[in-house]
Each structure stands twice: as C-alpha cells, then as structure tokens.
Amino acid sequence: MRDRLVFFAGVVIILLTITASVEIAAFFYTTYLAKRYGILFYLPQITEDYATYAARVNPVLGWPSPQALQKKRDDMIKMASGAGSDAKQMDRGFPIAAYGDSFTAGYGVEPEHAWSNVLGDMLGCHIANYGVPGYGTDQTYLRFHDNTQDESKIIFLGVLSENIQRNVNQLRNFLIPSSQCQTKPRFVLDSQGQLWLVPLHHLTRENYEDFIKNPDHYLKHDYFVPGGPSGAQKLGFPYTWSILKAHKFFYDRYVLGYKSYLQFYQPDHPSRAFPLTIAIIQQFVREAKERGKHPLVLVFPTDEDFRVYNRHLIYEPLIQELNKEHIEYVDLGPELLKRLCNRNYMDLFLGGKYHHFNGEGNRLVAQIIFNYFKARNYLPPTFQQTTNPPPG
C-alpha cells in the first residue's frame, strides 16, 4: 500500500512539475509576444494618467490634439510664406494637399527630404501635408472632412497597405503596444453598405482605469478586442489556456506566417475590413469632388509588401477595386520596384525599428508622382518647375 502511495505521489509530482514548467514557459512566451507585438495577447502597458490623456486627445480624431493640429497648420503657413529664399517663388495658396498616415507625412526623414516637400520643389509650389502617424483611412477622411479651411485644388489621399487593419480598430494599443491610451473612431457598414461613424469612446476619470484593464467591456466595434472575433486574448493565468484560446490566430500568424493584414483584403473576411476601406475611400473621393477638388489616391507599400512580393503585392485587391470604381490612383509599389532594378528593396527604407522610406525612397516617390503629373498634363503654367527632377 505504501509503495502504491509513493508511486502515485511521484506521478503527481512529475505531472505538477511538467505543468508548472509548461505554464512558466507559456508565461514568458505570451508576455514576450504581448510586449513586442501586442496584436495576439493584450497586456495593459498604458502608463498615461487620465489628466494627460484628456488634455491630449482630439474628441473627433483621437490624436493629435486640436492644439497640435493648429500648430502644424501655422508651421505650414510660415514655411510657405517666408522661410528660405525659395519660399518667395512658391504659391501661397496651397494648391496641393496630402492626407494620410506616417508614410504620407514622410516620417523618419528631415522635413526637406520628405516626398511632399521634394515634389513641391519640383513643381514650384507648396504642398500642405496633413499626414499623421498611425492614422487609419477613417481618421484620414475625418481630418479632411473637418478641415474646411483647405482651399487646395488637388488632394492626395495616402493609403498604406496595412491601413486596412486600422480601419476596424478602436484602440491602437491592440495593434502596437504603447504607454499612451490611443483611442480612435471608426466607421461601420450597415446592411445597405452605408457608412456609419462610431465616434471616439467617451472616457471619464471614473472609468479610465477600468477601460485600460477591461477594454472588452467598452469597445463593441473593435475587431481586435480581446475575446472577440480576431482570436486575440487578454493575457492572464493560466497562460497555456490563453495560447489554446488563441490557437487560430496563433496558427495563422506564427505557423503559416501570414502577414497580419494579408487576410483582411479578402472580401469575405469576417471583419469586413476590405469593403469598409473601399467605402471610406469612395466617400473621401466623392466629398473632394463636391468641394471642387481633384482627388488622387496614393497607394503606399510597406517593406513587408516587398518582402512577400510574388507577381502581385498584398494589396492587389485594392488596386482592382479602384480600377472597377474608376477612382484615380498612383500605385507606388510597382513603380518603385521598376526603379530598383536588381537592388534590394531595403535600400529605400530606414533600417532598425523604422520601417519608413529613407531619403532616396522619398525622392523616388516624389519623382513617380511628378512623372504622373507630367504625363497627364497636370502641370499648369502656375506650377513652374524650379528644379530638374532626376531622370525617371
């Protein structure tokens, strides 16, 4: 009898040891994924207090604050009206404006090397750049919609391939970990395919901490909310069970190696991200035309698009739909590949943690758009070329 008890006790100890080891390994692995990527497991990393959040947040757009938007506009006016000897030759009416995210903004390089300023030098006019890092197509449209002071005649809508994820997201922290609480609005499509705005969720001093800990209690329209349809999970004990609950997400992302936004371009994806993105672009284009402007969609590729490139880029369904809807666009991906020849695509990107275009990448983007303008006679006499663009 004693021998049997000893045997069973030994078995129990071995099982507990194995279980504990697996759980410890699962803890470290899931915590690493949550801190590094954020998209599979939600681990609250927000350290911003409510007062700071409330002072910073834009009640319509999420970020940046109204004060920051006004400062950026004031800086653009100063740049166009007096800074530098070339400024006197520039059209002060902002004949072109650009809306979008960090790729549109030219993030990562000095302002003079950003594609919009390089293109402005080629055209001999000032380009007002309203790009904001982290924006989805939804925030981009809302910024254009609210910017009634914009008198530009040509409007660029910058669309980055991975924007499609942002368009079904309400808390950016689900996609990229941050110490800030990065809330955002989003649109949804009704059964008739009409756009409806889900405004920024109202946070108060009383519910702020609970929102950070339990965002799933508040965000009913975020595809990436923990426990929601994406398969993402709130990180917690038992950690092995967290992995099991996230098995589909985990398998697709880390076993099959799907890029996070690849499947969102499928028209039947449960997020409905693709038809939603198309509807937002259509609304932007429609409103731009109603305001007497000439809209032009600029489709920006990421370095990941080039890495997995195989005859077609990830966002090819978007290009097909733009053609179908007769929406004018410039697909920068293939044009950049043409100019690379046999060089590595990373020659156009910043290294390290920055995945944006470097100076050469920005210059080529400007050159591609300039050539597009020239081929279609979008260069009226007032747009005198002040510099000779590189041959393209």
Residues paired with residue 298 on neighbouring β-strands, in sequence order: 158, 330
Q: Output the pTM of the full model.
A: 0.84
Q: What parts of the chain have a pLDDT lower than 50?
A: 82-92, 384-392
d(Cα 336, Cα 318) in Å, to the nearest integer?
A: 18
Total number of domains in the chain: 1
Residue 30 lies in a domain: no
Q: Residue 300: its pLDDT value, please?
A: 97
d(Cα 251, Cα 227) in Å, to the nearest integer?
A: 16
Residue 386 lies in a domain: yes
Residue 163 lies in a domain: yes
Q: Residue 351: its pLDDT value, please?
A: 78
Distances (CA, A) of 78 to 68, 241, 341: 15, 57, 40
Q: Residue 77: its pLDDT value, please?
A: 61
Instruction: Report the CATH number that the domain containing residue 383 is assigned in CATH.
Output: 3.40.50.1110
Residue 20 lies in a domain: no
Q: Residue 80: its pLDDT value, please?
A: 58
Which residue segment(s) compose the domain that 48 sits in? 37-392
| Buried-exposed string 160-176: b where 16+ CB fall within 10 A, e elsewhere | bbbbbbbbbbbbbbbbe
3-state secondary structure of 52: helix
Residue 202 lies in a domain: yes
d(Cα 112, Cα 199) in Å, to the nearest integer?
A: 35
Distances (CA, A) of 125 to 6, 261, 297, 388: 86, 36, 20, 14
Cβ-based neighbours of 70, under 8 Å, separated by 6 or more: none
Q: Residue 186: its pLDDT value, please?
A: 97
Other C-beta atoms closer than 10 Å to the C-beta of 29 total 14
Q: Residue 382: its pLDDT value, please?
A: 53
